[in-house]
Structure 1
């Protein structure tokens, strides 16, 4: 699921005619106990005291409008929003009046509110497989939640905030943990309105539901929602509310499946940079793929003019001051035709970077005799066959040890390129390093797609289901092809496509980790070894290319052993969030647009 595709930053609560009376009773109790009333607000000769409750959630505040007596007080509260945070006024009684009083500052959030009647909720008999749901318990959990937030384009939270709230009674955090790896796969936040502001309607709300885009297990979002609903049911809550963007059809379908019903409550937010796409209206870039859109969005945030030239092909023109640059995704006019031609031919790439001192695997050029091929396979043990020209993993066969398999792979590779290469197979992980302006901006391990058995479905059916999830998580960019390479990989693992896998049995269904063929991406920027960083920079300098994705085969991203595989002249920068790949790309094109705060850091 994409940003907010799991209902990220949803939420909220009820209104009641009895609310004002309830707060009067609350104030009376506080005075009787010698406590200070929440907020005193003076107007004319009269003094009114109201709770004016706003809950800090780390990413911003929830401003509960039913605790405010007039729009002026709410506007004043929203003006207290901190930088890089997203405050949300929920349950706004008269949004048209509120907006009329601050039209330049506020906007009506284009989200629907959904409510689950907890008295009618029924728990599922189906238990999660391969993962379990638990409460946040450690600082590592907090860091993992932020990693997922960043991957989903959500506002991150200071880790110490999560940890400080781990035992709070108002805010509750649940995470989904992989049973085998211990990795946090998803998260959800709940707010108890009764604990927060003594809500007379006994409400609760769901916020920040997010699942790791690389998670393989199905149903994580549903399991998190159910766990939160069951938690609040035991706490005596009457309902669970959430809000979801009006066009997020996938998330809406999930909520309606669980019994949520739409209710007519409204939310209001401030016009800040985080919310920009929600109040500026639709742009002309909806047809762009994710790799072009991430760059277009970053350009617009800086006031750079964007002209979409050809959305289907990913072409756009950026103009700032007197400078105009035509781009195709991360490929721009700054990349020379010579650099492109070097990257286009893998045999040339290998020679160029090898001459610069970068380690490369042994290779057999096209035109070798059958005896030479046989000797090469025998000497290497396993080989890789790939087209000299091509991208997105097409025509590549990995880990071949039998001569007849090599011959079939050569024939398949020739359908992609007239020239093919045989290369020594290097064991390890596939590491992609993004180099922009000869600096490594991001590093990620790319892993081949794996299916997990459930004792019911065939491998073919599991692959189809995994493909649907990868397609949804990547905007249609990733899927697992049911081709000869997939069949051979499954056969090498000792299975057939129509075999039923036992529960929790893991089987890799491709040997290449390319995103377009179902691979997953895992950020390792913070732990990559300096030797690998230097190798990537040296390769980029040898090719003389300003933006590139350098692929290395490594034992571990934190160890110096590597072998250069290839260089990509048009790397997918959207694959490396939360690293600032789009920001550094725009910095390269328009240095004068770099924010002053970033310039000071540098």
Structure 2
């Protein structure tokens, strides 16, 4: 087997609404081979992975996959289930898998739910190699592969603090975007977005973080505020450390000035030799070392958000409990096997590492790793109580004395941290400050919160929720309004219309994605076809954007899913068989399935706007139970419109020359269709339909009919969509149509210009099926008086001349008397059509690239037509001319 590609889809997609990994797998020599054809294979698989007995598969119950194995199933399907089982063993179980035919013999897409992106990609590769090993009967190091997957997940996935905040945001319905491979994450969209990195938030003061990172400065500021801190100083040499130790005349703590997670910390040092040794350890983590007074007592971590105490934990240093049999070193190994312990921060607790601090601590207390403690004896391994060094936490939030609570909250305000971890040593946190020895020993920026979410003893505290609530107080929005537009034809114009209205009426900054670029506040910031999820994310991640209007195309949905989780409004203009034969699309129902994702991902209570004249879309409406359905139509008497109005629904339709909104039996005129400039005074019916859809979307966002009419009345900038130019002896119409329906719409519009010869410069993209090409040719042959057939520069996998030949042959067969010739080059074909014009003739070109076509028009000194009067009939075309 051969892996051709592995890609991740981070958002809702055509397979499932959750993130997935897609692997394109070529079975090669295993093509059409089934599991039962290889003696012993099934038995070896079940022996190695007994958990697959529980896989449901298509049966919907445990054992379904086993039935498929013994009944005979292809190896792509087997790889899928092996990977699913391996994710279980690796600690990030995936529950969704699917294997689909990918358009060629032995080629399949294996889709697996993505719980840990890099690790899941790795396990997909392992699954392929492991299945091959089982087939050929050789050993495969599966255990080592699973352990490697665990390490990959640990290194590449979000840490526990960031993950907890992300989960808390998800519970509150706040969208999340991971911005890098570390822990930088965006919560919310557009102008409402907030960024976090672990527990550093967008609201964290840079100065406060710097202060907290400098232990000596932190102590100075707290001491100035009359908050108790240990006496001491900073040593840059061993001699300085010894002088500070001597001046304190008490037990000391030695730790790196810029250290974290308890690394390099030695406590309760009472002799010069201990201090020297501790200084050497601390120097491994930085040149500056803190030597300060040791405070006896219990070690506490207090967690504050916006200077309010949210949680408190007593931290117990790493330790083991003797059993009278095993040595201290062996007991550490046993403790580390506990399922809740992992490497670094991957689990609620961290494995205990034996380092020089542990050895020094044991030596100081007369112990060795080889010693065997008595049964029940507690052996501490270090003085510092960080979870990062193997300690545990006991929740004490409800026991904290009010005076200590107030002192901690004042300390957080003094340092200025919005999310603050305070390390406190006290004899008893339930007692007042005056009756005990107490001191704040550190203030931490980016404090870990897993001890509060997963205490070894006591109640869990939702610190992550408190952080999210601080970023998004109750009633504060986290999402910008989002409108998503899809369909086969008309989606670009509809998108532009909606963006134009939103921008002009609200005065807010609109972020818009279209087939010609990304626009922020009316300025194009990126060129090209930007209708995929990456472009949507650019808009949604931009902090200036207040409204998102997203053209959402089929290709992006298939390859990479949606770039958002939910939209407020969706518009589906129409669905026609334009892309049959692409991306595994075999019939119109496949296109409906793909584009329906846009409708399905409209939030509950949001609005889905559908073309009443498209039966595929009216059928889709029956599946949308949580959204409001609104229809638009050029036919006010369409049965779907009448039925929807009869039940009190809302529709937008054309009544005579008017765009009308109706709800139940009540009607409101919005504007005259001819007042929208791009409709050429109502000539372009398809643009009227686009205007109806746009009006419906804007009404769903609360814009008044009067404001919509005013804005649409100024919508004239629609490059590449039914643009008229006066040139030479006649006119040129430029349009992006590239399928039968778009050809038909343009021909219908041009046909209303009575008495003119209409010439079509036509071509069809090479990735369309022969059936689509042939249907396009028949429409063009019937709709134009004269044809020039051209071909795209990008043949999209076809042989040069193949598409042009099909078009020409169909035209000759369907309308043999039609004047028709082939000129492969698009610009040359247009130039020829203009040169051969008769007076008043209209040339229609369906372009591949707009800019070269505009250059030809400039060469002919063409002038864009802004008024229907400019394209009114000039003379009657004689029969010989037609």
TM-score for the superposition, normalised by structure 2 = 0.35
Structure 2: distance between partners of 1:369 and 1:250: 46
Q: Does 1:291 align with 2:167?
A: no
Specify the alignment match of 2:298 in structure 1: 429
Structure 2: distance between partners of 1:455 and 1:357: 49
Q: 1:565 aligns with which of 430, 435, 441?
A: 441
Specify the alignment match of 1:449 in structure 2: 318
Q: Deviations over 1:201-224 (max 9, x none)?
A: xxxxxxxxxxxxxxxxxxxxxxxx
Q: Deviations over 1:36-66 (max 9, x none)?
A: xxxxxxxxxxxxxxxxxxxxxxxxxxxxxxx
Specify the alignment match of 1:13 in structure 2: none
Q: 2:384 aligns with which of 506, 512, 521?
A: 512
Specify the alignment match of 1:574 in structure 2: 450
Unaligned residue ranges in structure 2 (runs of 5+): 1-55, 66-84, 93-111, 118-152, 454-459, 478-882
Three-state SS of the structure 2 residue aligned to 1:423 is: strand
Three-state SS of the structure 2 residue aligned to 1:444 is: strand
Specify the alignment match of 2:242 in structure 1: 373
Q: Does 1:527 align with 2:420?
A: no
Matches within 5 A, 1:192-341: 249=89, 282=114, 287-311=157-181, 313-320=182-189, 322-341=191-210
Structure 1: distance between partners of 2:258 and 2:414: 19
Specify the alignment match of 2:841 in structure 1: none
Three-state SS of the structure 2 residue aligned to 1:443 is: strand
Structure 2: distance between partners of 1:372 and 1:582: 39
User: Are the counterparts in 2 of residues 513 and 519 from structure 1 also a CA contact under 8 Å?
Assistant: yes
Judging changes above 3 Å, is the alpha-carbon distance between structure 1 residues 499 and 368 closer, same or farther for their aligned structure 2 residues?
closer
By how many angstroms is 1:581 displaced?
0.6
By how many angstroms is 1:502 displaced?
2.1
Structure 2: distance between partners of 1:447 and 1:478: 13
Structure 2: distance between partners of 1:509 and 1:329: 28
Structure 1: distance between partners of 2:187 and 2:240: 54
By how many angstroms is 1:465 displaced?
2.1
Structure 2: distance between partners of 1:559 and 1:417: 37
Structure 2: distance between partners of 1:560 and 1:291: 31
User: Are the counterparts in 2 of residues 444 and 576 from structure 1 also a CA contact under 8 Å?
Assistant: yes
Q: Does 1:475 align with 2:346?
A: yes
Judging changes above 3 Å, is the alpha-carbon distance between structure 1 residues 284 and 468 closer, same or farther for their aligned structure 2 residues?
closer
Q: Does 1:348 align with 2:211?
A: no
Q: Does 1:417 align with 2:417?
A: no
Structure 2: distance between partners of 1:95 and 1:591: 44
Judging changes above 3 Å, is the alpha-carbon distance between structure 1 residues 390 and 338 closer, same or farther for their aligned structure 2 residues?
same
Specify the alignment match of 1:395 in structure 2: 264
Q: Deviations over 1:284-342 (max 9, x none)?
A: 6772121111111111111211111234x322111146311221111112112111110
User: Are the counterparts in 2 of residues 387 and 414 from structure 1 also a CA contact under 8 Å?
Assistant: yes
Structure 1: distance between partners of 2:226 and 2:409: 12
Three-state SS of the structure 2 residue aligned to 1:415 is: helix
Three-state SS of the structure 2 residue aligned to 1:486 is: helix
Three-state SS of the structure 1 residue aligned to 2:193 is: strand
User: Are the counterparts in 2 of residues 380 and 425 from structure 1 also a CA contact under 8 Å?
Assistant: no
Structure 2: distance between partners of 1:535 and 1:527: 15
By how many angstroms is 1:373 displaced?
2.7
User: Are the counterparts in 2 of residues 452 and 506 from structure 1 also a CA contact under 8 Å?
Assistant: yes
Judging changes above 3 Å, is the alpha-carbon distance between structure 1 residues 503 and 251 closer, same or farther for their aligned structure 2 residues?
farther
Q: 1:554 aligns with which of 396, 410, 426?
A: 426
Q: Does 1:489 align with 2:371?
A: no
Q: Does 1:584 align with 2:460?
A: no
Three-state SS of the structure 1 residue aligned to 2:301 is: strand
Three-state SS of the structure 2 residue aligned to 1:451 is: strand
Judging changes above 3 Å, is the alpha-carbon distance between structure 1 residues 542 and 301 closer, same or farther for their aligned structure 2 residues?
same
User: Are the counterparts in 1 of residues 252 and 292 from structure 2 also a CA contact under 8 Å?
Assistant: yes
User: Are the counterparts in 2 of residues 529 and 557 from structure 1 also a CA contact under 8 Å?
Assistant: yes
By how many angstroms is 1:479 displaced?
2.3
TM-score for the superposition, normalised by structure 1 = 0.51
User: Are the counterparts in 2 of residues 384 and 424 from structure 1 also a CA contact under 8 Å?
Assistant: yes
Higher relative contact order (CA 8 A, sep 6+): 1
Matches within 5 A, 1:118-133: none
Q: Deviations over 1:469-493 (max 9, x none)?
A: 2624963461222112101222233
User: Are the counterparts in 2 of residues 325 and 589 from structure 1 also a CA contact under 8 Å?
Assistant: yes
By how many angstroms is 1:516 displaced?
0.6
Judging changes above 3 Å, is the alpha-carbon distance between structure 1 residues 593 and 392 closer, same or farther for their aligned structure 2 residues?
farther
Larger Rg: 2
Structure 2: distance between partners of 1:317 and 1:429: 37
Q: By percentage of residues, which structure has more helix? A: 2
Judging changes above 3 Å, is the alpha-carbon distance between structure 1 residues 463 and 494 closer, same or farther for their aligned structure 2 residues?
same
User: Are the counterparts in 1 of residues 234 and 241 from structure 2 also a CA contact under 8 Å?
Assistant: no
Judging changes above 3 Å, is the alpha-carbon distance between structure 1 residues 589 and 405 closer, same or farther for their aligned structure 2 residues?
same
Specify the alignment match of 1:498 in structure 2: 370
Judging changes above 3 Å, is the alpha-carbon distance between structure 1 residues 296 and 109 closer, same or farther for their aligned structure 2 residues?
farther
User: Are the counterparts in 1 of residues 176 and 185 from structure 2 also a CA contact under 8 Å?
Assistant: yes
User: Are the counterparts in 1 of residues 230 and 295 from structure 2 also a CA contact under 8 Å?
Assistant: yes
Structure 1: distance between partners of 2:249 and 2:476: 49
Three-state SS of the structure 2 residue aligned to 1:565 is: strand
Unaligned residue ranges in structure 1 (runs of 5+): 1-93, 100-107, 113-244, 253-279, 596-602
Give the number of equivalent residue pairs. 334
